[in-house]
A and B are shown apart, each in its own frame.
Chain A
Amino acid sequence: MKRLVFLIPVLAFAVMAIWFAQGLDRDPRYIPSMLINQPAPEFNLQPIDGRDEAFTSRDLKGEVSMVNIFGSWCASCEIEHPVLMSIAREGVAPIYGLDWKDRPGAGAQWLMARGDPYAKIGDDAEGRVAIDFGVTGAPETFVVDKEGRVRHKHVGPISEDDWRNVLKPMIEDLKSAPPSY
């Protein structure tokens, strides 16, 4: 009996080592989205400078779309921008923009210099809508289905690969899926 007690430390360590080993695969900074399969949050945003259509949650119902969080201050958005432009040209699904925490006019200016891939853009200077989306950084992109439910969250810039291998197939699936009630 006493000998068994002496085995406890090494066994406990073995269990922990296995746990640690598996932990190496995880990225502790990645937070899963709470919105997956939930309806997108309700919102009603004024357009940014140079646009005149408001961007509201009603826009997300009726067709599959993407919501892209960006800002003129965001370096990675710069990297993502050309990919968004080519996605917009393909016309598979509209991209709506959320101009996050930008000073008035800054977002419009940024887009004017680089091109505008967005169907509509909402001005979220206060950041409240982004919080409702559970945004923790830019860029982030949400895929929203026809019923206005969030189906996928993409953290970080979208690359050509991401579009071709993950997002585009997902959107096409969602487009052809029968409406569910």
Chain B
Amino acid sequence: MTAEIGQILLIFAGLAALFQGVFPFLGASLRDAALMRAARRAAVAQFALVLGAFCALAYAHATSDFSVRNVFENSHTAKPFIYKLTGVWGNHEGSMLLWSLILAAFGAAAALFGRQSALAARALGVQGLIAVAFVAFIVFTSNPFLRLFPQPADGQDLNPLLQDPGLAVHPPFLYLGYVGFSMTFAFAVAGLISGRIDEAWARETRPWAIAAWVFLTIGIALGSWWAYYELGWGGFWAWDPVENASFMPWLAGTALIHSIRALEVRGAFRAWTALLAILSFSLSLIGTFLVRSGVLTSVHAFATDPARGLFILFILGGFIGGALALFAVRGPNLRSSTGFEPVSREGGLLANNMIMVAACATVFIGTFYPLFIDVATGERLSVGAPYFNAVFPPFMAAALAILSPAASLAWKKGSVKDAMRRLAPAAATAAAIATLAAWFAWPKSVAAALGIGLAVWAGAGAISDLAVRVRLFERYAGARLANLPRSYVAMIIGHVGFAIVAIGVIGAGALKSETIVYAREGDTVSVGGFDARLLSVTEARGPNYESEISAFEVSRGGKLLSTLHAERRFYPVRGMQTTEAAIASDLTGDLYLTIGDYNVERGWVVRAWRHPLTIWMWIGAGLIALGGTIGVIGERRRAPVRRAGAAEAISA
């Protein structure tokens, strides 16, 4: 009964979405406030209905109702309860329903808490139309509420790799990001229809853009983090097509949040910002196409079903093609009337945009090249991590190089001399650390040292700018610090976070060391200055797996540090084995241990890695998210501090 209820709720949600999609356009054209109000109500109703459908599916999973095909294919009585719940979105149909739920939630949020302008109304309408398309996709090609008859006794079990906290939350955050970009897309289309992409448009759209981008950042970071600790060799990014599918919208989104800032402050980049807003969501949609249509193989691929792929292609064609056609017609009318000097904040933001978009295009070409060649000539070739690792870093190096100078320039006309004065300490720090890094990394990777130098230049530059701005070493610096505009604080934190992520990526990616040996109880494995002595290996049993747990005593330079446990699990229903690595982290890096097969003559296979600076990746990602969040919460002019001598107003 639950599944049928869910089915009906979903269909009604589609109807509500249709109202939400059509009413605002009618209402805005006819200036009928009642229609626009009805649209907002439809948005809230749609959310309630999709939520109901989602809860119905969740209930079926929670109660292991195997008469529902989705539950049978993706669950099992032995699965721990929490993973039964997260398993709702660990499959194609369920994840599409989650997509729809988040889409509806954003629409409802905009309806309830957003401004009640014609722009917002039209944007809500576009959201509604997108929702109709996705609900239709679910109902017609990916229905999670289909029944099985007769009801099987037990399920087919979820992939044990997916029974994991990190992986459980990774998709929701990603979808929050993708759907967030649907909002900016909706605003862009609405703006193009009304012919106004201006400062006011930017003010309304910017929070959505940053929110989407923050969610996507967290989603990507979670995915990387999960891959790092779960897959067993400390890899965190493989340039797999579906990883790229989430990275491309992120790159475009980074360009968007910077461009929209210039639009908001100075009215610059009108057409370009609209285009970026369309592109960010388009890349999200194309990413969806990748995962579910089977045109590319990937470790992630959900469903390789060309029928679904065709449906999604029509959705892509409709929305992306439609929006870009609208852009072709309305774009030329968007004239930025203000100008700026090349050396200025706008110029710096333009440079950022160009780098991010070029990087995005490069990843796009690499990801889809095998497909293009196959269609063009029938030849099969692969474009993998070695290619991307060769062509991508230069773009990031360029981004790191210009980051702090660009952020230190004034609007409209900046002074290089002024910027350099602020950044001099940063330059010195960066040079020093780069030299130090080169000395440590020699001869493994001088490029890594250069990269670290650039990252330090970027991060220290941000802090240096901050220090100069609040005149850190003069009196009442604390007050000036507290009175900084939020947008500035957000920027500094975000930039420092980005620099820190870069340092982490370089350390963990380019500077690692590895040891693979056989070991018996009592043997010691050494890597990167650490020693791990295998104490014991014992057998254990989990809810749906059997395991071998090893205990290692870790020391460094003779000094005992800790005991780590690395595990190997076997899941009988799927016949799969997973490794649970033992990881000891500190700011200098990670010690990463895994235990493998047992050889009767030689002992266990033990693999140990030293991954320098890994934790900086996660800290940096967190800082980026924090910076973005501060940026969304909004700007409030602080009242000048009522203190003699410190009453200078801080200008934004």
Contact = CB atoms under 8 A, between A and B. Distances in A.
A–B interface present (Cβ within 8 A) = yes
Nearest to A15: B372
B321 A24 contact: no
Q: Which of A9, A25, A32 has the most chain B CB atoms inside 10 A of its CB?
A: A9
B589 interface: no
B321 A21 contact: no
Contact of B275 (A3, A9, A21): A9
Given A17-B313, A24-B310, A29 B297 contact: yes
B324 A10 contact: yes
Contacts of B316: 17, 20
Interface string B269-298: 001000100110010000001000111110
B410 interface: no
Nearest to A20: B313
A6 B282 CA distance: 17
A6 B321 contact: no
Given A13-B320, A26-B295, A2 B375 contact: no
A7 interface: yes
Interface string B507-551: 000000000000000000000000000000000000000000000
Interface stretch (B60-68, B219-227, B326-334): B326-334
Interface residues of A, number: 23
Contact of B271 (A6, A20, A21, A27): A6
B324 A13 contact: yes
A84 to B, nearest CB: 27
Contacts of A17: 313, 316-317, 321
A27 B321 CA distance: 26
Nearest to B279: A9
Q: Which of A7, A16, A19, A28 has the most chain B CB atoms inside 10 A of its CB?
A: A28
A1 to B, nearest CB: 10
A6 B374 contact: no
Given A22-B375, A26-B295, A28-B294, A10 B313 contact: no
Nearest to A2: B332
B371 interface: yes
A21 B296 contact: no
B447 interface: no
Q: Which of B295, B309, B372, B380 has the most chain A CB atoms inside 10 A of its CB?
A: B295
B370 interface: yes
Given A9-B327, A17-B321, A24 B380 contact: no
Contacts of A9: 275, 278-279, 324, 327-328
- A interface majority secondary structure: helix
Interface in B359-406: 368, 370-372, 374-375, 378, 380
Nearest to B289: A20
A14 B313 CA distance: 11
Contacts of B354: none
B306 interface: yes
B325 interface: yes
A31 to B, nearest CB: 6
A136 to B, nearest CB: 12
A20 to B, nearest CB: 6
A50 interface: no
B380 A31 contact: yes
Contacts of A24: 293-295, 306, 309-310, 313
Nearest to A7: B328
Q: Which of A6, A16, A21 has the most chain B CB atoms inside 10 A of its CB?
A: A6
Given A29-B297, A31-B380, A32-B380, A3 B374 contact: no
Nearest to B331: A6
Given A9-B275, A22-B375, A23-B375, A28 B327 contact: no
Given A13-B282, A23-B295, 11 more contacts: A6-B271, A7-B328, A9-B275, A10-B321, A17-B313, A17-B317, A20-B316, A24-B293, A24-B313, A27-B294, A28-B370
Interface of A: 2-3, 6-7, 9-10, 13-14, 16-17, 19-29, 31-32
7 closest A-B pairs by beta carbon, nearest first, are A10-B324, A23-B295, A6-B331, A24-B306, A22-B375, A9-B324, A23-B371
